[in-house]
Amino acid sequence: MLDTNKAPLSDAALRQLFLDARTYNAFLSTPVPDDLLRRLADLVKLGPTAANASPARIVFVKSPEAKQKLAPALSEGNRDKTLAAPVTAIIGYDLEFYDKLPKLFPHNLTARSWFEGKPAAIEETGFRNSSLQGAYLILAARALGLDCGPMSGFDKAAVDAAFFPDGKVKSNFICNLGYGDPAGLFPRNPRLDFDEFCAIA
């Protein structure tokens, strides 16, 4: 019989993605080249979204000027580490993501009507799927050897005004990217036991 099962990734890969991966507060000075951000985006965009709508919009904040634009929106506890990180990704979602559906979901040209003029459907689909895409970014970054420091402690209205002034994109969360400095790590927090968050029915 043909064995069609794919094998698990190596233990080293599982460690890099999950088991040894940590949220970093401090990063080494090693830069993150634009080419690596493009390679990251090429992985992120392949992750699944509802109706392939791909609502996430991402700004990689890298220049000192852009970091200074971000600074006033950061919470006190997140400001210094974020300004020091090589890159801060702002993950937002496009409130007019349905405009791209003719390209993204070409076999069903009525898909646009599921969202256009329906703010509740736009909000739910945009928020859920840009969150999924933000998680794809975290794991794709780790797969490429980068470390992450995701945060939701910031002034969303201020980020939106500074980076999405046309009002068509809402920020969801932000994520520092770089090569993590283990010296800045806290001990890992406990996690829930299987029965505390899972059931097999």
Binding positions for a second copy, 43-72, rule CB under 8 A: 43, 45-48, 50, 52, 54, 56-63, 66, 69
Kindly state whether residue 148 participates in binding a second copy, applying the rule CB under 8 A. Answer: yes
Which SS3 state, helix, strand or coil, does residue 8 take? coil
Contact indicator for 178, 146 with CB cutoff of 8 Å: yes
Question: Considering only residues 73-132, where is the footprint of a second copy by CB under 8 A?
Answer: 100, 103-106, 125, 127-129, 131-132
The C-alpha atoms of residue 164 and residue 97 are separated, in whole angstroms, by: 14
Helices 119-143/34-44 angle, 10° precision: 120
The C-alpha atoms of residue 137 and residue 95 are separated, in whole angstroms, by: 20
Kindly state whether residue 140 participates in binding a second copy, applying the rule CB under 8 A. Answer: yes
The C-alpha atoms of residue 48 and residue 60 are separated, in whole angstroms, by: 21
Q: How far is the CB of 186 from a second copy (least distance, A)?
A: 8
Give whichever of 48 and 80 is closer to a second copy, judged by the CB atom. 48
Q: How far is the CB of 80 from a second copy (least distance, A)?
A: 19
Give whichever of 60 and 98 is closer to a second copy, judged by the CB atom. 60
Kindly state whether residue 144 participates in binding a second copy, applying the rule CB under 8 A. Answer: yes
